[in-house]
């Protein structure tokens, strides 16, 4: 089944005026359910765009109607062993939290409390119908992803470590290592835990001078059915994503931009994943952000429902178009519906392999079920009781009331109709980046303006990971870079948003364009990067990897965005800068010069000799191939200079024929044979692996073998000393 994508248009708030309504729900045919969202073109109000969804819920839709139509039908499947994921996507203030969490009153309860209520009710029924032979246990995990770091919300904020909890792949699923899990007997238990956890979320956010809605919140409800020695586990995940708004249209200060960059990055990666899946690419960039790793859209077996929340107002116009574009593509994602199999109780394992102080253990699963068992423990009844004292209530806390049986309501637009064809989705804009009417900034925001001091505190979290080589960068520089970078990213994002044509044109470019070989190499590099942990260099490399992949598919706008994201990690690197400049100029030439003026006018100087001098913009075509993308990685300007200097008086000059020893060294290097390279003097496994990865990357770009020692010295992680040691260590 495809990911089911439904849109929900929220009603007007008291302060909003119905004159400003521009988004409306519609149906494909008279008498059919609502499946279409209509919105005018920002450039020409007379023109209207239509986006088709599996279901559309208009302003009058109640919480109960939405739940009954979209979530309740899947509770049965959950108990049959299928995992269910429900996530809310949309701009800040469009009703994601209202939809997922809801309000205080019974009728205002959102998807999450209703889901729990239904789960408990069904669990009780199963136990009763089986005369107590089957017991149903419910356990909760609740965590947030803030600035691409995972924090347990069932633990008090004081217990957080700056780097958050790590993720691991286990049996084909992404698990959060060390995440706590609490058993939950009934709705009251749940209410207490949930309120306490949301208080933790607000407290933690306040400490950072941020707003809790700037993180993605993930509630995981694990249902374990035990019958004799048989166990069946399944999980319902309810995810309230952070707002996907464009910062140019909010009153975000510079400080918030760092945080926004993390949100934008994860949501951008999400949209990249959606694009890649809908194009049928083999490689989906899940690993580029924690949120997408956890969400694993289209990878997880089970049922996925994406709720796109929309505000009907003009002040959200461009953001609404952007989110409509992303989510309407998500419909094409196919999800395998595979039940989690029943497993049998076995003696507990002594070591699960996953560390972490809080990790719970679970019974050993038979290996033949390993592909779909859940990790994480069945939280024992003796699980830690929630702290008695709930401090300040969260801003949007709600009460869960005992469940009253409610009249089932027919789904207003439970559409099983096939997705409308793409012709129904109108092209939105031309190529030019949309300028914003001034009224677009008028919408309310929930963002808290932080103090000036928050920037240096937040930035080093990202930049100062172990292994980072970019620490010399000052807070001011970062601030300037971030400001510039975000402005640029958002400018190009708006352009992409305003014009879905390139994305659709891209879908015509098949993934065959990335050869199998290149894909393998990229994946190898990705794994390598991943194993490097979270250091800033890895982060930079990830962006470079993304950029290269985008370039491979001919998506230069995306490539540019990723190169720009990578830039702060490789400060002072002329090659990268030139690459960015060139791409900008090239795109500007395509777009008729409509790029941020400050960039378009940049003088092109300090070119490295290797790069072809460019006289006019036409000549940019084809100049990419002669630039080694990653040659700046691991290299500070001073170091590059030193390497150059040494190249002249190295083991041997590159002039004239290579000596036998040089030949021998180059042969070993060019063999790409890990064992041989590791055998070189001064090479450890990591260095050897880095070199092989890099050579593979060069291959993917059609670059020739390493022909000289000076060329070798210029490779990432090499340098003169390494080359000298390897050279000296060779017996001729
Ligand atoms: N369907 C609805 N009915 C009534 N009020 C709604 C509805 N949807 C949203 N609202 C109201 O709109 C406001 C914004 O909603 P909410 O906070 O849920 O947005 P959000 O998308 O979660 O924003 P953020 O990304 O900042 O968390 C709230 O006051 C909420 O009560």
- Strand ranges for 347-393 from DSSP E: none
pLDDT tens digits along 250-300? 444 555 555 666 666 778 788 778 777 777 777 778 788 888 888 876 666
**Residue of 92, 93, 327 to test ligand 1 pocket, by largest number of atoms within 8 Å of CB:** 93
Name the closest-CA residue to atom 9, ligand 1.
Answer: 95
Asked whether residue 470 is marked as a ligand-binding residue, the answer is: no
The C-alpha atoms of residue 37 and residue 428 are separated, in whole angstroms, by 13
- Quick one: how many helices (H) and strands (E) in the chain? 22, 15
CB atoms within 10 A of CB 51: 29
Q: Is 470 contained in some domain? A: no
Q: Are residues 689 and 553 in the same domain?
A: no
Give the residue numbers spanning the domain of 356: 4-248+256-338+352-369
Q: Is 464 contained in some domain? A: no
Ligand 1 atom having least distance to the Cα of 243: 25
Q: String of b and e for 656-695 (b: at least 16 CB within 10 Å)? A: eeeeebbeebbebbeebeeeebbebeebeeebbbbbbbbb
Backbone angles phi, psi at 481, to 5 degrees: -65, -45
pLDDT on residue 657: 67
Q: With the C-alpha atoms ordered 498, 500, 502, 503, is the resulting torsion angle positive or negative? A: positive
DSSP string, 47-64: -EEEEE-SEEE-TT--HH
Name the closest-CA residue to atom 26, ligand 1.
Answer: 92
* Count of the separate structural domains present in the chain: 3
328 Cα–ligand 1 center, Å? 21
Residue that finishes a domain, picked among 606, 632, 658: 632
**CB-CB contact of 17 with 404 (8 Å):** no
pLDDT tens digits along 324-337? 987 777 665 554 44
Q: Is 528 contained in some domain? A: yes
Asked whether residue 95 is marked as a ligand-binding residue, the answer is: yes
Residue for token pair 């080589």: 469
**Tokens of residue 209, six digits:** 């001078």
Low-confidence ranges of the chain (pLDDT < 50): 247-252, 335-337, 347-480, 482-483, 485-487, 489-514, 526-527, 529-535, 593-650, 655
The set of protein residues with a Cβ atom below 6 angstroms from ligand 1 is: 10-11, 13, 90, 92-98, 213, 243, 309, 446
Asked whether residue 91 is marked as a ligand-binding residue, the answer is: yes
The C-alpha atoms of residue 203 and residue 226 are separated, in whole angstroms, by 37
C-alpha distance from residue 155 to each of 178, 181, 290 (Å):
11, 10, 20
Q: Are residues 626 and 693 in the same domain?
A: no
91 Cα–ligand 1 center, Å? 10
SS3 22: coil
Q: Are residues 194 and 104 in the same domain?
A: yes
Q: Are residues 513 and 661 in the same domain?
A: no
Asked whether residue 97 is marked as a ligand-binding residue, the answer is: yes
Contacts 24+ apart (CB under 8 A), 226-230: 226/134, 226/135, 226/136, 226/137, 226/345, 227/130, 227/133, 227/134, 227/135, 228/133, 229/344, 229/345, 230/342, 230/343, 230/344, 230/345
Helix (H) or strand (E) holding 118: helix 111-129
Ligand 1 atom having least distance to the Cα of 240: 22
Q: Is 30 contained in some domain? A: yes
Ligand 1 atom having least distance to the Cα of 242: 25
Instruction: Say whether the ipTM exceeds 0.95.
Output: yes
Name the closest-CA residue to atom 10, ligand 1.
Answer: 95
Asked whether residue 684 is marked as a ligand-binding residue, the answer is: no
The 3 state secondary structure assigned to 609-675 is CCCCCCCCHHHHCCCHHHCCHHHHCCCCHHHHHHHHHHHHCCCCCCCCCCCHHHHHHHHHHHHCCHH
92 Cα–ligand 1 center, Å? 8
Question: DSSP assignment, residue 424?
Answer: G
Q: Are residues 494 and 588 in the same domain?
A: yes
**CB-CB contact of 308 with 89 (8 Å):** yes
CATH number of 216's domain:
3.40.850.10
pLDDT on residue 381: 35
Asked whether residue 96 is marked as a ligand-binding residue, the answer is: yes
Q: pTM value? A: 0.53
pLDDT on residue 10: 96
Ligand 1 atom having least distance to the Cα of 241: 25
CATH number of 684's domain:
1.10.150.280
Decide the pairing of beta strands 84-90 and 134-146.
Answer: unpaired
C-alpha distance from residue 131 to each of 76, 79, 124, 134, 282 (Å):
19, 17, 11, 8, 48
Asked whether residue 68 is marked as a ligand-binding residue, the answer is: no
Residue that finishes a domain, picked among 632, 661, 687: 632
Q: Are residues 39 and 179 in the same domain?
A: yes
SS3 490: helix
Ligand 1 atom having least distance to the Cα of 309: 21
Ligand 1 atom having least distance to the Cα of 396: 17
Q: Are residues 589 and 712 in the same domain?
A: no
25 Cα–ligand 1 center, Å? 18
239 Cα–ligand 1 center, Å? 15
CA end-to-end span of the chain: 63
Q: Is 467 contained in some domain? A: no
**Residue of 95, 96, 107 to test ligand 1 pocket, by largest number of atoms within 8 Å of CB:** 95
Q: Are residues 504 and 647 in the same domain?
A: no
Ligand 1 atom having least distance to the Cα of 245: 25
Question: DSSP assignment, residue 313?
Answer: B
**Residue of 89, 98, 309 to test ligand 1 pocket, by largest number of atoms within 8 Å of CB:** 98
């Amino acid at each position: 089944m495809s990911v089911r994508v439904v849109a929900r248009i929220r009603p007007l708030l008291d302060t909003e005026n119905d004159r400003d309504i521009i988004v409306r729900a519609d149906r494909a045919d008279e008498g059919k359910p609502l499946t279409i969202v209509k919105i005018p073109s920002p450039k020409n109000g007379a023109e209207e765009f239509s986006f088709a969804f599996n279901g559309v819920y208009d302003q009058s839709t109640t919480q109960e109607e939405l739940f009954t139509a979209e979530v309740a039908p899947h509770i049965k499947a959950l108990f049959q062993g299928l995992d269910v994921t429900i996530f809310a996507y949309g701009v800040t203030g469009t009703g994601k939290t209202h939809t997922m969490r809801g309000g205080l009153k019974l009728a205002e309860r959102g998807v999450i409390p209703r889901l729990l209520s239904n789960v408990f009710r069904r669990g009780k029924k199963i136990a009763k119908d089986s005369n107590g032979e089957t017991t149903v246990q419910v356990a909760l995990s609740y965590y947030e992803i803030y600035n691409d770091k995972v924090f347990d919300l069932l633990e008090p904020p004081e217990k957080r470590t700056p780097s958050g909890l790590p993720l691991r792949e286990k049996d084909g699923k992404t698990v959060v290592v060390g995440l706590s899990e609490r058993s939950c007997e009934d709705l009251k238990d749940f209410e207490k835990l949930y309120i306490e956890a949301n208080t933790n979320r607000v407290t933690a956010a306040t400490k950072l001078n941020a707003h809790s809605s700037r993180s993605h919140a993930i509630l995981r409800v694990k249902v374990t059915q035990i019958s004799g020695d048989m166990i069946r586990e399944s999980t319902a995940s309810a995810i309230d994503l952070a707002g996907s708004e464009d910062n140019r249209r909010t009153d975000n200060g510079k400080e918030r931009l760092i945080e926004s960059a993390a949100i934008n990055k994860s949501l951008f990666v999400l949209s990249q994943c959606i694009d890649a899946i809908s194009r049928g690419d083999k490689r989906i960039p899940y690993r580029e952000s924690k949120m997408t790793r956890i969400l694993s859209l289209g990878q997880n077996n089970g049922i996925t429902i994406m709720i796109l929340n929309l505000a009907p107002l003009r002040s959200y116009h461009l953001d609404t178009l952007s989110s409509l574009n992303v989510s309407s593509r998500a419909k094409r994602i196919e999800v395998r519906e595979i039940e989690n199999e029943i497993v049998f109780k076995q003696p507990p394992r002594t070591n699960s392999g996953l560390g972490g102080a809080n990790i719970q253990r679970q019974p050993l699963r038979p290996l033949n079920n390993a592909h779909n068992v859940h990790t994480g423990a069945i939280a024992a009844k003796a699980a830690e009781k929630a702290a008695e004292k709930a401090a300040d209530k969260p801003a949007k806390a709600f009460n869960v009331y005992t469940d009253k049986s409610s009249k089932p309501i027919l789904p207003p637009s439970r559409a099983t109709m096939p997705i409308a064809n793409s012709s129904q989705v109108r092209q939105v804009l031309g190529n030019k980046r949309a300028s914003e009417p001034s009224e677009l900034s008028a919408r309310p925001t929930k963002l808290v303006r932080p103090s000036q001091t928050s920037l240096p505190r937040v930035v080093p979290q990202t930049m100062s990971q172990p292994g980072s080589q970019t620490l010399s960068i000052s807070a001011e520089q970062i601030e300037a870079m971030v400001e510039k970078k975000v402005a640029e990213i958002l400018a190009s994002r708006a352009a992409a948003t305003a014009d879905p044509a390139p994305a659709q044109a891209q879908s015509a470019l098949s993934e065959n364009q990335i050869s199998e070989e290149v894909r393998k190499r990229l994946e190898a590099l990705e794994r390598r990067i991943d194993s490097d942990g979270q250091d800033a260099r890895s982060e930079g490399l990830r962006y470079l990897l993304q950029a290269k992949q985008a370039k491979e598919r001919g998506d230069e706008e995306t490539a540019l965005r990723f190169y720009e994201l990578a830039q702060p990690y490789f400060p002072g690197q002329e090659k990268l800068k030139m690459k960015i400049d060139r791409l900008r100029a090239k795109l500007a030439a395509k777009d008729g010069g409509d790029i941020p003026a400050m960039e378009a006018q940049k003088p092109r100087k300090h070119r490295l000799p290797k790069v072809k001098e460019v006289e006019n913009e036409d000549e940019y075509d084809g100049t990419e191939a002669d630039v080694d993308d990653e040659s700046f990685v691991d290299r500070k300007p001073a170091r590059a200079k030193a390497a150059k200097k040494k190249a002249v008086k190295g083991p041997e000059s590159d002039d004239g024929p290579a000596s036998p020893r040089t030949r021998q060294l180059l042969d070993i290097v060019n063999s790409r044979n890990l064992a041989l390279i590791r055998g070189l003097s001064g090479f450890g496994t990591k260095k050897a692996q880095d070199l092989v990865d890099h050579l593979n990357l060069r291959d993917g770009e059609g670059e020739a073998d390493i022909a000289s020692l000076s060329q070798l010295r210029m490779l990432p992680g090499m340098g003169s000393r390494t080359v000298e040691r390897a050279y000296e260590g060779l017996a001729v």
